[in-house]
Structure 1
Amino acid sequence: MSGDNGYFGDVREIEREYRRRKTLSVSWWQIAVTVVIGGNIVLQMATNPYASKRWYVIALVVIVLARVVPAVLYRQRGRTIVGAQGITARDAIQTNTWAWHDVYDIRAELNTNGRVERAQWTTYVYDNDGRRTRLPYFDDWQLPDFHAELADLRAVSAPHRGAAWELRPDVEDRILRRARDRKVWGVVCIAAFIALCMAFVLLV
Structure 2
Amino acid sequence: MTQVALPREYRSRPGSGTRAYGFLALVWFWGVYEMSAARHLPVWFRVALPVMTAAFIAFLAYSRPRRFTVIDREGISVRNVLLVRRLRWAELHDIRVESPAGRSAAKGGPRAFACAYLADGKRVGLPCVDEIETPAIRTEAALVRSLWTELRGPQWRPEPDAEARIARAAARREWWTGSGSARWGVPVAGAVLTAALITLSVVFLG
TM class, shorter-length: 0.7 to 0.9
d(CA) in 2 for partners of 1:69, 1:169 = 45
Aligned counterpart for 1:108 among listed residues 97, 113, 116: 97
Alignment of 1:41-60 (within 5 A): 41-51=31-41
Match of 2:62 in 1: 73
Q: Are 1:84 and 2:80 an aligned pair? A: no
Cα 1:60/1:176, change in 2 over 3 Å = farther
The aligned amino acid for 1:198 is T
d(CA) in 2 for partners of 1:157, 1:163 = 12
Match of 1:3 in 2: none
Task: Describe the SS at the equivalent of 1:12.
Answer: coil
Alignment of 1:1-204 (within 5 A): 11-21=3-13, 23-24=15-16, 26=17, 28-51=18-41, 66=56, 68-69=57-58, 71-112=60-101, 113-163=104-154, 169-183=160-174, 187=181, 190-199=186-195
TM-score of the superposed pair, with normalisation by structure 1: 0.74
- Identity in percent: 24
Task: Describe the SS at the equivalent of 1:51.
Answer: coil
d(CA) in 1 for partners of 2:67, 2:4 = 25
Aligned residues: 193
- Single out whichever of 40-49 and 54-63 deviates more from structure 2: 54-63
Superposed displacement of residue 174, structure 1: 1.0
Superposed displacement of residue 59, structure 1: 6.1
The aligned amino acid for 2:30 is N
Superposed displacement of residue 52, structure 1: 5.3
Q: Deviations over 1:44-73 (max 9, x none)?
A: 33443213597599668756765x345313
Cα 1:170/1:18, change in 2 over 3 Å = same
Kept in 2, the 8 Å contact 1:109–1:123? The answer is yes
Q: Is there any run of 5+ residues in structure 2 with no aligned partner, and where? A: 202-206
Cα 1:80/1:119, change in 2 over 3 Å = same
The aligned amino acid for 1:125 is A
TM-score of the superposed pair, with normalisation by structure 2: 0.74
Moved over 4 A (4+): 52-66, 163-169, 183-186, 200-204
Kept in 1, the 8 Å contact 2:32–2:50? The answer is no
- Single out whichever of 11-20 and 130-139 deviates more from structure 2: 11-20
